[in-house]
Amino acid sequence: MDTPISIHADLQSEFERLAAQRGEAVDAVVDVALRAGLRAIRDESPCDSFPVRSFNMGEPLCDVTKANQLADHLALSDEVALIQRLDGVEAD
């Protein structure tokens, strides 16, 4: 099945150059490139593994089950400080 595709001009010129070098049609070179690219994507491993060093940091200093409350408090503190700065009031 032939399906028209749009490609950037730089890729088009590269495909044309390769086709001329190999004495093949441009669509054959595009087909080979697409198959090689799809194979590379399919066979690609997610990432190379690396060692992760860990250490005990002790108990958390805040209740981690209430992280949203902490985030809200910090955001509110930032907003209050900004409003005070805009009003010319020094933050505590």
**Which tokens hold the place of 31?**
């087909």
Q: Distance (Å, rounded) from C-alpha 47 to C-alpha 38?
A: 17
Q: Distance (Å, rounded) from C-alpha 77 to C-alpha 54?
A: 32
Q: Quick one: pLDDT at residue 90? A: 60
Q: Quick one: pLDDT at residue 69? A: 82
Q: Quick one: pLDDT at residue 12? A: 94
Q: Distance (Å, rounded) from C-alpha 15 to C-alpha 11?
A: 6
DSSP-derived 3-state class of residue 23: coil
**Which tokens hold the place of 15?**
């495909």
DSSP state of 74: H
Rounded to 10°, the helix 9-22/26-43 angle is 110
pTM of the model: 0.46
